[in-house]
């Protein structure tokens, strides 16, 4: 671990020994991860930098090999590659194997090890908001890597029932198996009925979800994992019917802190990371 004296370190310091971390995905200009991690590195005087890497689906294998070839220290993986990177890694954690999804890659002397911090990030965020999963009826919108992590997390925390709502039925069924859930289609007439018997709605779809706002009730808690807006359309619609709502900023914080600790072996400075996220999001309309 390389450190610098505070007097010589600024948020933009780059030296010949700076280690590189980052996040890879597609269409991720909205990401707040670089600001969060770079603030944490600077606070702890670590000679690290965190960058954004936009890649195409056709280049996923080359991108993963580039982590090894260039000696990048660690990478977060986001949409739409959390499941696609698996075949190109040297090893994965038990958690990642269980859910079939990776959001964190650790470069251990050329060996690329994948794990997932999405589940614990979501769990800690819900706990912070006093949302109990035990005996709750959970509905998950989406079937990607974050949905898989949410599905497993709900099962591990003894949710009474879990329903996965997906455009792609086959993919939805694969996601549902992670948490012993059932599956329905996003545009299905079943969705309205399912919402009537739901306590917690977790959205993992990175775009606005076409749900009639009249289907929400005061008994719902809607957790939208998106954080590109302070309040998404889904959140506004649910709030208009009395539901409690949250965006995914605290999930980003907690999953990021877990990744940070995997990479650095240091305790993540949560207060610094949280303040950075709040400040950055407040600058957006």
Tell me the pLDDT tens digit for each residue of 131-172: 999 999 999 999 999 999 999 999 999 999 999 999 898 999
Under 8 Å between Cβ of 252 and 227: yes
Look at residue 11 in the predicted model and tell me its pLDDT. 53
Of 14-18, 36-40, 99-103, which range is least confident?
Answer: 14-18
Look at residue 14 in the predicted model and tell me its pLDDT. 85
Q: Which residue has the higher pLDDT, 246 or 4?
A: 246
Q: How large is the average pLDDT for residues 28-56?
A: 96
Give percent of the chain above pLDDT 90.
86
Q: How confident is the model at residue 20 (pLDDT cuts 50, 70, 90)?
A: very high
Q: How large is the average pLDDT for residues 218-242?
A: 95
Full-model pTM: 0.92
Of 77-91, 202-216, 231-245, which range is least confident?
Answer: 202-216
Phi/psi for 247 (5° steps) reads: -85, -175
Q: What is the DSSP letter of 43?
A: H
Q: Is the pLDDT of residue 267 over 90?
A: yes
Q: Is the pLDDT of residue 9 over 80?
A: no
CA pair distance 113, 195, nearest whole angstrom: 38
Q: Which residues are the active-site residues?
A: 82
**Structural domains in the chain, sorted by start:** 6-116+250-282 (3.40.50.10860), 119-247 (3.40.50.720)
Look at residue 210 in the predicted model and tell me its pLDDT. 82
Under 8 Å between Cβ of 183 and 206: no
The strand pair at 182-185 and 161-166 is best described as parallel
Q: Is the pLDDT of residue 12 over 50?
A: yes
Strand partners, 92: 114
Average pLDDT value for the chain: 93
Q: What is the DSSP letter of 183?
A: E
Look at residue 247 in the predicted model and tell me its pLDDT. 96
CA pair distance 186, 169, nearest whole angstrom: 9
Under 8 Å between Cβ of 117 and 103: yes
Question: 3-state DSSP call for residue 205?
Answer: coil
Of 11-25, 62-76, 108-122, 142-156, which range is least confident?
Answer: 11-25
Look at residue 7 in the predicted model and tell me its pLDDT. 45
Cis before residue 144, ω within 30 degrees of 0? no
Look at residue 10 in the predicted model and tell me its pLDDT. 55
Of 7-21, 54-68, 187-201, 223-237, which range is least confident?
Answer: 7-21
Question: C-alpha dihedral over 148, 149, 153, 159, to 10 degrees?
Answer: -30
Look at residue 186 in the predicted model and tell me its pLDDT. 80
Beta strands of 122-251 (E only): which ranges?
A: 137-141, 161-166, 182-185, 200-203, 221-224, 244-246
Q: How confident is the model at residue 285 (pLDDT cuts 50, 70, 90)?
A: low
Query: Per the structure block, which two tokens stand in for 44?
Result: 């702890």
CA pair distance 148, 280, nearest whole angstrom: 28
Query: Per the structure block, which two tokens stand in for 170?
Result: 């086959």
Phi/psi for 115 (5° steps) reads: -145, 175
CA pair distance 168, 162, nearest whole angstrom: 17
Q: Is the pLDDT of residue 212 over 50?
A: yes
Under 8 Å between Cβ of 25 and 78: yes
């Amino acid at each position: 671990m390389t450190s610098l004296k505070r007097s010589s370190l600024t948020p933009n310091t780059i030296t010949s020994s700076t280690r590189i971390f980052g996040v890879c995905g597609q269409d991720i200009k909205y990401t707040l991860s670089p600001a969060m991690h770079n603030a944490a590195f600077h606070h702890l005087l670590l000679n690290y930098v965190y960058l954004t890497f936009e890649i195409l689906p056709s280049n996923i294998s080359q991108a993963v090999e580039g982590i090894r070839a260039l000696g990048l220290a660690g990478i977060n993986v986001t949409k739409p590659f959390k499941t696609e990177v698996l075949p190109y890694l040297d090893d994965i954690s038990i958690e990642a194997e269980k859910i079939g999804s990776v959001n964190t890659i650790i470069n251990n002397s050329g060996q690329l090890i994948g794990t997932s911090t999405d589940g614990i990030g979501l769990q800690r965020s819900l706990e912070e908001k006093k949302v109990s999963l035990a005996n709750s009826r959970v509905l998950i919108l989406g079937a990607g890597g974050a949905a898989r992590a949410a599905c497993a997390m709900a099962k591990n925390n003894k949710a009474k029932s879990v329903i996965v709502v997906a455009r792609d039925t086959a993919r939805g069924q694969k996601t549902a198996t992670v948490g012993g859930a059932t599956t329905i289609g996003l545009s299905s007439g079943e969705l309205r009925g399912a919402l009537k018997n739901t306590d917690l709605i977790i959205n993992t779809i990175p775009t606005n979800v076409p749900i009639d706002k009249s289907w929400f009730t005061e008994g719902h808690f809607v957790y939208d994992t998106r954080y590109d807006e302070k309040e998404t359309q889904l959140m506004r619609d649910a709030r208009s019917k009395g539901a409690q709502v949250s965006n995914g900023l605290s999930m980003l914080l907690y999953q990021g802190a877990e990744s940070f600790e995997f990479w650095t072996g240091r305790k993540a400075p949560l207060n610094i990371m949280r303040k950075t996220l709040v400040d950055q999001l407040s600058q957006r309309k």
